[in-house]
């Protein structure tokens, strides 16, 4: 029960509502809800027993309209209202003040709710900005890390290429030195320190140069491809066949 309805005052106010117009019980409940801005909502168990008591006392009467009890104030009820006019005026003033207090509380609640909602929205926006900033930072860090990985892989690959190039150049110099040494040994073995004439010597030098160039070409080809067991066997057969043909041509 709302504090504005002290003992006996709800009974008095029900008479006041029925004086305004005949009403059924549900209509009385709804009217009280409206006047108290929905804050006070009496239950049927509160209203209907009081209407029945007022009817027992002869202050109201009822008739059934479309299956509903419609209560109407009697002359005896009007007389009680007149006798308690001052008390009713005080009650009306208290109800008005109570309604104003309720309206103020509702307004404050709405203001607090709006303020809280605004703060929550502000915090949500701040969190979203922070989240977006974190995501951008993470994306930049990820891109930077990916760039570092790419540059590191490129440096390593470049270093590997340089090392391979240096190794190839070293092997090339080594093969050239070996070819020159082989050519020198060939010429020394051919001549054995003796003199057989300029024509024969020139032809032997030409032959030695051809053989040296042949060896260098073979070694260059071997350096630029993988030498497998099958390729080595094929090269052995080709060299043997070439040697047979060269010996036959020199006889």
What pLDDT shows up at residue 133?
77
pLDDT band for position 150 (cuts 50, 70, 90): confident
For residue 201, what pLDDT is reported? 63
Map out the domains of the chain as residue ranges.
9-83
> What band does 114 get if pLDDT is binned at 50, 70 and 90?
low
* Domain range 9-83, its CATH number among 3.30.365.10, 3.40.1280.10, 1.10.357.10, 1.10.10.10: 1.10.10.10
* CA proximity to 11, closest of 64, 45, 46, 50: 50
Which has the closest alpha carbon to 175: 211, 205, 218, 238? 218
Please report, rounded to a whole number, the percentage of residues in the chain having pLDDT higher than 90.
22
Mode of pairing for the β-strands spanning 60-65 and 23-24 = unpaired
Report whether pLDDT(3) > 60: no
36 band by pLDDT with thresholds 50, 70 and 90: confident
Residue 14's contacts (CB-CB under 8 Å, 6 or more residues apart) are: 28, 47, 50, 51, 54
In terms of Cα–Cα distance, which of 244, 246, 239 is closest to 207?
246
Q: Are 70 and 28 in contact (CB under 8 A)?
A: no
Ranges assigned E (strand) in 17-169: 23-24, 60-65, 68-73
Q: What is the pTM of this model?
A: 0.41
Listing from the earlier edge strand, what are the strands of the sheet with 23-24? 23-24, 68-73, 60-65
Q: What digits encode the pLDDT tens for the residues 179-198?
A: 677 666 666 655 555 445 55
Q: How far apart are the C-alpha atoms of 242 and 210, rounded to whole Å?
A: 13
Tens of pLDDT along 211-234? 777 777 777 777 666 667 777 667
Q: What is the pLDDT of residue 6?
A: 62
């Amino acid at each position: 029960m709302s504090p504005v309805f002290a003992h006996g005052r709800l009974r008095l106010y029900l008479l006041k509502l029925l004086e305004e117009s005949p009403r059924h019980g549900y209509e009385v409940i709804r009217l009280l809800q409206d006047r108290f801005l929905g804050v006070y909502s009496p239950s049927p168990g509160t209203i209907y027993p009081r209407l029945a008591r007022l009817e027992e006392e002869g202050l109201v009467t009822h008739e059934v309209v479309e299956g509903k009890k419609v209560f109407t104030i009697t002359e005896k009820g009007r007389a009680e209202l007149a006798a308690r006019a001052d008390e009713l005026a005080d009650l009306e003033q208290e109800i008005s003040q109570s309604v104003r207090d309720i309206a103020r509380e509702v307004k404050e609640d709405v203001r607090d709710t709006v303020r809280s909602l605004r703060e929550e929205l502000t915090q949500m926006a701040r969190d979203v900005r922070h989240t977006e900033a974190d995501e951008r930072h993470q994306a930049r860090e990820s891109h930077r890390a990916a760039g570092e990985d790419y540059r590191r892989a490129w440096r390593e690959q470049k270093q590997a290429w340089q090392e391979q190039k240096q190794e190839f150049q070293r092997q090339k110099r080594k093969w050239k030195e070996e070819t020159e040494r082989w050519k020198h040994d060939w010429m020394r073995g051919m001549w054995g320190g003796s003199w057989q004439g300029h024509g024969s010597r020139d032809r032997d030098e030409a032959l030695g140069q051809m053989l040296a160039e042949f060896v260098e070409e073979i070694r260059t080809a071997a350096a630029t491809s993988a030498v497998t067991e099958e390729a080595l066997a094929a090269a052995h057969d080709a060299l043997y066949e070439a040697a047979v043909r060269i010996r036959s041509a020199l006889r």
